[in-house]
Structure 1
Amino acid sequence: WPFNAFDDFFAPLATTDGDVAFKMNVEDAGDKYVVTAELPGVKKDEVDVELNEGRLSVSVDKKESDEEKGKNYLHKETGEWSATRGVYLKDAATEGLTAKMDGGVLTVNVPKQAEKTNVTKVAID
């Protein structure tokens, strides 16, 4: 079916290795944006959150513990992986950002600022 091929084509854009991605939601909550990412089994020190010129990026670099590496698995579907997801928030403020990791869910609160007009009209001679 052609729609599955379409999904397979775009899926690798969300990850660095093409296999693992995480789900991310962006809510407009009036005076702020609330961004949530489902990251089960990921520790907060394996997550990097960055706001750069309106683009909020959430990066995960999941590593196996030494305890996991020492086990003798017959079948294993978890392991080391990395992925980055991002969203552009044009009126995101750089002050007052907060992030919290709880129960495998990362929640980032991004306050809004008054939109700046960066458009300059140019007269044509």
Structure 2
Amino acid sequence: MASMVPYRSVFGLRPFNTSLLDAFDDMMDLASAPASRAFPMDVEDKGDGYEVKAYLAGVNKDEIDVELNEGRLSISVNVEDKEENEGKNYLQREFSAFSATRGIYLKDASNEGLSARFADGVLTVSVPKIAEKKNVTKVSID
């Protein structure tokens, strides 16, 4: 079982004189470190457009950036730690500043009519599809 004694090292690992279970806990912590933090996304084809939902609990609306560039929808989050940490003695602290970007390519996405709303930690982006163009032209023969 991992101990609740605070520790510090260059890579966030405990000294080597701890138990094998503590070392395993450290490896699992590294796998979910803030540098690799991402957010889950759902993409649904609604027929005439797409609905993309990004689950962003604990993120404020002004920390989100949504962009559509040539069919690639990018959702970026940049969270800054604004809390004053002076004089606090954390035994464990998992919240920190982070940034993450997720993207998806939607080949027939239209820039016209794009909309987004953010409520209860869920960002919902509605992306309309490009209206299908019929490039067939009948040519009369002289």
Q: TM-score range by the shorter chain?
A: 0.7 to 0.9
Q: 2:124 and 2:82 mapped to 1: Cα distance?
A: 25
Give 1 or 2 for the bigger CA radius of gyration. 2
Given residue 107 of structure 1, which amino acid in structure 2 is its aligned partner? T
Which residue of 4, 11, 17 maps to 2:35? 17
* CA deviation after TM superposition for structure 1 residue 115, in Å: 4.7
Conserved 8 A contact 1:91-1:115: no
CA gap 1:31/1:84 in 2 versus in 1, 3 angstroms = same
What SS does the corresponding residue of 1:66 show, helix, strand or coil? coil
Aligned pairs for 1:81-92 (under 5 A) are 81-92=98-109
Could you list the runs of 5+ residues in structure 2 that have no partner in the other structure? 1-30, 135-142
Q: 2:86 and 2:121 mapped to 1: Cα distance?
A: 24
Q: TM-score w.r.t. structure 2 length? A: 0.65
Which residue of 76, 80, 94 maps to 1:63? 80
2:22 maps to none
Tell me the percent identity.
58
Higher strand share: 1
Given residue 45 of structure 2, which amino acid in structure 1 is its aligned partner? D
* CA deviation after TM superposition for structure 1 residue 74, in Å: 2.5
2:11 maps to none
What SS does the corresponding residue of 1:17 show, helix, strand or coil? helix
Q: Aligned pair count?
A: 102
What SS does the corresponding residue of 2:35 show, helix, strand or coil? coil
Given residue 26 of structure 1, which amino acid in structure 2 is its aligned partner? V
After TM superposition, what 4+ stretches of structure 1 lie above 6 angstroms from structure 2? none
Q: 2:111 and 2:61 mapped to 1: Cα distance?
A: 21
Q: 2:62 and 2:78 mapped to 1: Cα distance?
A: 9
CA gap 1:65/1:113 in 2 versus in 1, 3 angstroms = same
Could you list the runs of 5+ residues in structure 1 that have no partner in the other structure? 1-10, 118-125
Q: 1:98 and 1:113 mapped to 2: Cα distance?
A: 15
Q: 1:95 and 1:23 mapped to 2: Cα distance?
A: 26
2:117 maps to 100
Q: TM-score w.r.t. structure 1 length? A: 0.73
Higher relative contact order (CA closer than 8 Å, sequence separation 6+): 1
* CA deviation after TM superposition for structure 1 residue 64, in Å: 1.3
Given residue 34 of structure 1, which amino acid in structure 2 is its aligned partner? E
Which residue of 51, 54, 58 maps to 1:41? 58
